[in-house]
Structure 1
Amino acid sequence: MKSSNKVLIIGASRGLGFALAQEWLSRNWNVVATVRSGNTPLHRIKQAFPGQIRVEQMDVTESSDIEALADRLPVHEFDVLYVNAGIALGPEDRADEVTTEDFSRLMVTNALSPIRIIERLYDKVKEQGTIAVMSSSLGSVTLNESGGWEVYRASKAALNMLMRSFAVRHASASQSLALVDPGWVRTDMGGADATLSIDESIPGIVDQIAASSGKAGLHYYNYRGETLPW
């Protein structure tokens, strides 16, 4: 029997987003997931889950795409909205060496676009549902004792601050708000030296999203459910 639970995943063409879609599908959830373009692995698994998944096309940096998706979705439709958009330059990126173009690209993709998406789509989430965004422990100012990933860290810290402001502006909302650190995962972005496999990270994320359901307010935690310092 198919579950009546429904999740909207933004950015699911590959990596962690694709793995999230697979995990929720394996738990018999109905999934609506976005990709930027093309024929992705997400399209290719549709046959294995007939009637359980719908793929939408959207570029997270295009306001017109966000608006068009919002117009296609009814209000209070989803139990979970998960925004996964993110890019990185690499561990050796430095603020004094990055080009203005690359700095702007990371900030728009990792910080500005997710909050625009959440602001436009939060009314698509049920009143006791969860709105989550893929953050990182690298966005914690307190935990930065090793340096590295400077521009990526800055973009995730900006995302955390914008999400905090969103929570203040929507203090009366009943949805749970979450900034989630997946850990350092072996993906195209995380690289081969990362400490976690997808199978060690993603089920934990989905478990923690389930555990946070019905708990209003903003929470910053990792895939193990451990609260992270700002």
Structure 2
Amino acid sequence: MANSSKYLLITGANRGIGLALTQIYLDAGWHVDACCRQPFEATDLNALATQYESLSIHALDVTDHAAIDALAQSLSGKQFDLILNNAGYYGPKGYGFGNTDMDEWRKVLEINTLAPLKIAEAFYPHLLATKGTFAAVSSKVGSMTENTSGGGYIYRSSKAALNSVVKSLSNDLSSQGIIAIALHPGWVQTEMGGPNALISADESAQGLYAVLESLEIKDSGRFLNYQGQEIPW
């Protein structure tokens, strides 16, 4: 049932899973504050804004911590039921051991690991008011248990570190009623996932929406895929 009183903040909303999630939450009657780096280039997102008065679009580079603070301040009157850290960066592919680009590694960590915690800290008051959910789109390649093939040092480590951030957030915030959760969206046909991926962005987003809608406080600190199945850390 549509609920016009619910509010979502989402990053990386201009394409792929982020765009699909934005559409789903708008259709479900939520108010959505959607963030991306270059709103004037976000054709699909802007098209949604012409259809839904409940969509607000914000320019945000998640590596710009002052900009995160400024956005949190400008939205200080809002209470978010859900904050979805979707913005992500893969970095180089196909490099082997001995060829790791350290500058790219720093960039991936800035976007995938540092930014979500900065957003959690900046928007903590907005979440506390609703006892809302802080969700981070992670990846099963960040799972230590499932890393049986090696390689992928940059992206793997950024998501493993993100999972650690989520686990600590759950320990720190669950007693205040805030859920912190890590999500694996599946291997998705996006710019990042590539054409050989197994599922569409819409299928992933529908699954993630269902998982998020079913969460209870006891689920805080879990690592779940888009079908609601547990992934080992």
TM-score under structure 2 normalisation? 0.91
SS at match of 1:191: coil
Q: Percent identity?
A: 34
8 Å CA contact 1:122, 1:131 repeated in 2: no
8 Å CA contact 2:79, 2:130 repeated in 1: no
Counterpart in the other structure of 2:16:
15
Distance 2:144 2:187 in 1: 17
Distance 1:5 1:167 in 2: 22
Shift of 1:93: 3.6
Distance 2:95 2:115 in 1: 21
Shift of 1:68: 0.4
Shift of 1:96: 2.7
SS at match of 2:186: coil
8 Å CA contact 1:78, 1:129 repeated in 2: yes
Which protein has the bigger helix share?
2
Give the aligned CA root-mean-square deviation in angstroms: 1.8
8 Å CA contact 1:87, 1:109 repeated in 2: yes
* Partner residue of 2:187 out of 168, 171, 184: 184
SS at match of 2:90: coil
Distance 1:121 1:89 in 2: 27
Structure 1 residues 171 and 211, CA, compared in 2 at 3 Å: closer, same or farther?
Answer: closer
8 Å CA contact 2:131, 2:176 repeated in 1: no
Q: Extract unaligned runs of 5+ from structure 2.
A: none
Q: Extract unaligned runs of 5+ from structure 1.
A: none
Distance 1:139 1:124 in 2: 28
Distance 2:18 2:81 in 1: 17
Shift of 1:197: 1.0
Show CA shifts across 1:36-94 (max 9, x none): 12421212221111x21001111100011001011011366111110112111355244
Distance 1:193 1:102 in 2: 24
SS at match of 1:20: helix
Counterpart in the other structure of 1:29:
30
Of stretches 23-32 and 1-10 in structure 1, the one that deviates more from structure 2 is 1-10
* Partner residue of 2:79 out of 77, 80, 103: 77
Structure 1 residues 94 and 26, CA, compared in 2 at 3 Å: closer, same or farther?
Answer: farther
* Partner residue of 1:108 out of 102, 107, 110: 110
Structure 1 residues 95 and 167, CA, compared in 2 at 3 Å: closer, same or farther?
Answer: farther
Counterpart in the other structure of 1:57:
59
Which protein has the bigger strand share?
1
Aligned length: 229
Of stretches 53-62 and 143-152 in structure 1, the one that deviates more from structure 2 is 143-152
Amino acid aligned to 1:34: C
Amino acid aligned to 1:173: Q
8 Å CA contact 1:128, 1:213 repeated in 2: no
8 Å CA contact 1:186, 1:193 repeated in 2: yes
8 Å CA contact 1:93, 1:151 repeated in 2: no
Counterpart in the other structure of 2:225:
222
Counterpart in the other structure of 2:149:
146
Counterpart in the other structure of 2:209:
206
SS at match of 2:229: coil
Distance 2:172 2:6 in 1: 27
Structure 1 residues 21 and 158, CA, compared in 2 at 3 Å: closer, same or farther?
Answer: same
Q: Aligned ranges for residues 36-55 of structure 1 at < 5 Å?
A: 36-39=37-40, 40=42, 41-49=44-52, 51-55=53-57
8 Å CA contact 1:76, 1:127 repeated in 2: no
SS at match of 1:145: coil
